């Protein structure tokens, strides 16, 4: 039916007067409006990144970018967000690049999970990244959900922010003041909170080069396949003379934002690769976090779980190299 569309031209209202008229009067119209899921917003679909930034800047915090919509649309439906303007990024093909170079891997903000999983060379170039993305959501969501949306949304249990922090990735954003490069470790500030300014959009994320001999593991625990992680661990190290070198241990789902477990990294660094070292790392990982209780699991459960995830990820890393 005409007028029911939720995507409306820039500057327009969500529903036309004719639409209300067909329901026979303003009281009924108001009732219909309340029963529709999304709040009213203006809509724009810019053709360039510069245009998108200008739109965000001109609305002073009252505008939000739309990428795959897999988180923003539910947020709108639950009234957790009610921007005056939605800036749809779908025409910005300049944000869909996947670059593999000597310096590392760069993913444009509009790259989808599906693009990462289906790329012919990405798994070889960054096996930890692709292994982690295999755990993201379900088929339908992977067809639409994007790298930029995941990073900007900053769910504490999301895989990509965790991999970004563990791998010391850099996030490139553009706002009215120009481009900015932000370390992933400074980017995530709390649940659904980031260092991004209201007028900025994420352009890309850059991962440092991944040495071929690097050993890695990624483990996560979910209630059902495709759910957000109750806890997840990403680990890697460059073994030399069977000792842990350059150890990184990341944790997801056990704090307000993704963490690196520095105490575990220090414990393992230069130690002999052994079952005893891994057992110590498990205990240290549990000791390093104080997760809160929530509707999905108790804090105590997640505290134990992250130790188990770190232990399994380390064993995977060791076995992967031996194999
Ligand atoms: C049922 C379900 C299960 C899921 N499970 C998982 C899971 O297991 N793991 C996981 O990681 N994710 C999961 N997700 C989230 C999903 O994978 C997407 O990562 C997520 O929805 C964000 O991507 P999007 O492109 O849909 O962003 P959108 O929903 O369009 O936007 C999300 C937020 O990011 C902002 N934004 C988007 N793009 C940009 C940009 N370029 N610059 C600045 N801000 C931007 C938007 O304004 C909004 O605030 C799940 C989602 C659903 C619905």
Rounded (5°) CA angle 5-9-15:
45
Rounded (5°) CA angle 279-284-288:
155
Compute the distance from residue 140 Cα to the ligand 1 centre, in Å: 13
Which residue in this structure is represented by tokens 């994420």?
A: 202
Give the phi and the psi of residue 230 in degrees, each rounded to 5. -70, -35
Give the phi and the psi of residue 213 in degrees, each rounded to 5. -85, 0
**Residue 30, pLDDT score:** 54
Which residue in this structure is represented by tokens 């842990």?
A: 244
Q: Is the pLDDT of residue 211 over 60?
A: yes
Pocket of ligand 1 contains residue 109 by CB under 6 Å: yes
**Residue 36, pLDDT score:** 53
pLDDT in tens, 228-253: 999 999 999 998 889 999 999 999 99
Alpha carbons 304 and 282: distance in angstroms, whole number: 9
- Coil, strand, or helix at residue 231? strand
**Residue 73, pLDDT score:** 95
**Residue 7, pLDDT score:** 32
Compute the distance from residue 304 Cα to the ligand 1 centre, in Å: 28
User: In percent, how much of the chain has pLDDT > 90?
Assistant: 84
For each of the domains in the chain, give its residue range(s) and CATH number, in order of start: 17-88 (3.30.43.10), 94-208 (3.30.465.10), 215-322 (3.30.390.50)
Alpha carbons 215 and 127: distance in angstroms, whole number: 10
Average predicted confidence (pLDDT) for the chain: 90
Pocket of ligand 1 contains residue 43 by CB under 6 Å: no
Alpha carbons 307 and 301: distance in angstroms, whole number: 10
Pocket of ligand 1 contains residue 201 by CB under 6 Å: yes
Compute how many other C-beta atoms are within 10 angstroms of the C-beta atom of residue 176.
Answer: 12
Q: Is the pLDDT of residue 37 over 80?
A: no
Q: Is the pLDDT of residue 181 over 60?
A: yes
Q: Among 231, 234, 237, which residue's Cα sits nearest to residue 210?
A: 237
Identify whether the C-beta of residue 167 lies closer than 8 Å to the C-beta of residue 209.
no
**Residue 274, pLDDT score:** 96
**Residue 21, pLDDT score:** 35
Alpha carbons 73 and 79: distance in angstroms, whole number: 10
Q: Which residues contact 117 (CB under 8 A, 6 or more apart)?
A: 130, 133, 134, 142
Q: Per mean pLDDT, which range of 29-43, 98-112, 256-270 is the poorest? A: 29-43
Tokens representing 302 are: 């997640």
Confidence band for 33, pLDDT divided at 50, 70 and 90: low
Q: Whose CA is nearest to atom 53 of ligand 1?
A: 70
Pocket of ligand 1 contains residue 175 by CB under 6 Å: no
pLDDT in tens, 56-90: 999 989 999 999 999 999 999 989 999 999 999 99
- Coil, strand, or helix at residue 276? helix
Average pLDDT over residues 18-36: 45
Pocket of ligand 1 contains residue 149 by CB under 6 Å: yes
DSSP letters of 115-162? HHHH-TTHHHH-HHHHHHHTTSS-HHHHTT-BHHHHHHHT-TT-HHHH
- Coil, strand, or helix at residue 279? helix
Q: Which residues contact 229 (CB under 8 A, 6 or more apart)?
A: 135, 157, 159, 220, 221, 222, 252, 253
């Amino acid at each position: 039916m005409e007028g029911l569309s939720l995507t409306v031209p820039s500057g327009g209202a969500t529903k036309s007067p004719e639409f209300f008229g067909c329901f026979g009067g303003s009281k009924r119209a108001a009732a219909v409006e309340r029963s529709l899921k999304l709040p009213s917003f203006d809509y724009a679909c810019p053709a360039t990144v510069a245009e998108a930034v200008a739109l965000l800047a001109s609305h002073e915090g009252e505008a939000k970018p739309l990428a795959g919509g897999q988180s923003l649309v539910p947020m709108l439906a639950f009234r957790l967000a009610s921007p005056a303007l939605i800036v749809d990024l779908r025409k910005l093909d300049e944000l869909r690049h996947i670059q593999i170079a000597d310096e590392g891997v760069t993913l444009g903000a509009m790259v989808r999970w599906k693009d990462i999983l289906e790329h012919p060379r990405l798994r070889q170039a960054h096996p930890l990244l692709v292994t982690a993305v295999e755990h993201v959501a379900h088929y339908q969501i992977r067809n639409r959900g994007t790298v930029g949306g995941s990073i900007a949304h900053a769910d504490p249990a999301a895989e990509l922010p965790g991999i970004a922090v563990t791998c010391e990735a850099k996030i490139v954003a553009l706002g009215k003041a120009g481009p900015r490069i932000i370390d992933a470790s400074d980017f995530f500030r709390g649940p659904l909170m980031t260092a991004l300014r209201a007028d900025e959009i994420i352009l890309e994320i850059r991962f440092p080069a991944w040495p071929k001999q690097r050993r890695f593991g990624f483990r996560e625990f979910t209630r059902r396949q495709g759910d957000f992680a109750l806890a997840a661990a990403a680990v890697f190290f460059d073994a030399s003379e069977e000792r842990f070198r350059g150890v990184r241990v990341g944790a997801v789902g056990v704090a307000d934002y993704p963490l690196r477990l520095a105490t575990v990294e220090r414990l393992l660094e230069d130690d002999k690769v052994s079952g005893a070292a891994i057992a110590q790392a498990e205990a240290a990982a549990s000791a390093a976090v104080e997760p809160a209780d929530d509707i999905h699991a108790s804090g105590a459960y997640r505290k134990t779980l992250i130790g188990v995830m770190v232990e399994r990820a380390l064993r995977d890393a060791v076995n992967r190299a031996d194999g």
